[in-house]
Amino acid sequence: MFSPLRNRAYRHLFIAQVAALLGTGMATVALGLLAHDLAGASAGEVLGAVLSIKMIAYIGVAPFASALATKLPRKTLLVALDVIRALVAVALPFVREPWQVYGLMTVLYIASAAFTPAFQAMIPDLLEDEGEYTKALSLSRLAADLESVASPVVAAILLSVISFNDLFLGTALGFMLSAGFVVTAVLPAASNVQPLPFIQRLTGGLRLFALTPRLRGLLAVSLATAAGGAMVFINTVVLVRSNFNMSNQASAWALAVFGLGSMSAAMTLPRVLEKITDRRAMVAGAFLMTATLLAGAFVAKSYPVLLALWLVMGFGYSLTLTPAGRALRRSSNSADRPALFAAQFALSHACWLIAYPVAGLVSAQANPSAAFLVLAGLCGAGAILGLVIWPANDPENMVHVHDDLGQDHPHLAQDEANGAHAHPVVIDRQHRRWPKAPR
């Protein structure tokens, strides 16, 4: 599983990711506690607003950033965005009003919206082997889970000796360490191929989603992912602090248990995905989260029960997320990949833009049990849509025919009987629509 780390460039980027996520995880804990400090039992509403701003920034900025990034040096862009995020983190301990939190976090989320797709799109260029790339996806999922496990654990320990506002300084340190490792990484050279026009770069990823069945299914599963994750990230502090009347440290430990469940799934997935399809793993994770949310509406009455629910929720959450990069890679060529990753980043966060306000507003206006039920419905809808939209028969080499190409076209040189041939299919110049199977 750890063999991709033998690649020096990937190793440095992986360490950069770990450093940034450790800092971000501490900020997540501190932000929840800051919201409770400012709004008390209505903290879910404040957090819902903050994270809705995050989703709006991600949806609006990511496609434009990806389209513009082809004109900028990769390393300079990533380092500059890390520095901006560090400066915002340094300013957060000084806020006194919710609107100040909203303003600063808008800047941080815009920088993250530009950083993340550019970072993700480089990994397939560094690791061309499918097996190594699958392992790298699991490693990246483990790194992301540090935001939910190691960071809350560190935060819980630190909160015994410092105030939660000081955790934001750890966030700033994480971003600066990330910038340092990006500087030392030897990144893949930009392609010498003439880039597509700006509008095509801006909309190309969305076009791939619209025309590729597995990507439409992936988007449906993303709705389930957002519903389950929103319940955890928005309402953990409400449940622990207001319902159970427990400490800040208890909130951090609950988030850590969720991350532990996610890490356990990520560690087993490379072997599991050798035996089952990405579709089956992701849909199973979505249904597992749906069942957990339904159970939570009736049994989440104590802290130990909540920890058990969050452990299972984390497992299902990772099942829906980790294989997504494989589906994206299968659905694009190297030239289109940055645009596709940016589109996935924006569209998946559009799902979070639905789930976050629902989680915050239902919890604040009714109660967390109602939020469990509403989000279970949203999660179940995503799971069912994913099962229906994503074709069960989705082979690596797809047998298909071309009605729009002449028999002497070079692409048809290896035709088999009845004009059919088989190869991995992506939407491109030869496949402007998803191809048809032979009759």
d(C-alpha 435, C-alpha 439), whole Å: 12
Q: Output the pTM of the full model.
A: 0.72
Does residue 318 sit in helix, strand or coil?
A: helix
| Of 317-326, 397-406, 430-439, highest mean pLDDT | 317-326
How does pLDDT run across 41-60, given as a tens digit for each residue? 666 677 777 777 877 877 77
How does pLDDT run across 376-400, given as a tens digit for each residue? 999 999 999 999 999 887 666 666 5
Q: Decide if 87 contacts 138 (C-beta within 8 A).
A: no
Query: Taking the CB of residue 65, how many other CB atoms lie within 10 A of it?
Result: 25
How does pLDDT run across 299-312, given as a tens digit for each residue? 999 999 999 999 99
R_g (Cα) of the chain, nearest Å: 22
Mean pLDDT, rounded, for 249-264:
85
pLDDT at residue 404 is higher than 80: no
The confidence score (pLDDT) of residue 42 equals 64
Mean pLDDT, rounded, for 365-374:
92
Question: CA torsion 241→247→249→255, rounded to 10°?
Answer: -20
CA 83 to chain centre: 22
The confidence score (pLDDT) of residue 406 equals 55
Q: Decide if 397 contacts 378 (C-beta within 8 A).
A: no
d(C-alpha 405, C-alpha 428), whole Å: 13
Which superfamily is assigned to 3-186+197-389 in CATH?
MFS general substrate transporter like domains (1.20.1250.20)
The confidence score (pLDDT) of residue 26 equals 76
pLDDT range class, residue 411, cuts 50, 70, 90: low
More confidently predicted of 253 and 73: 253
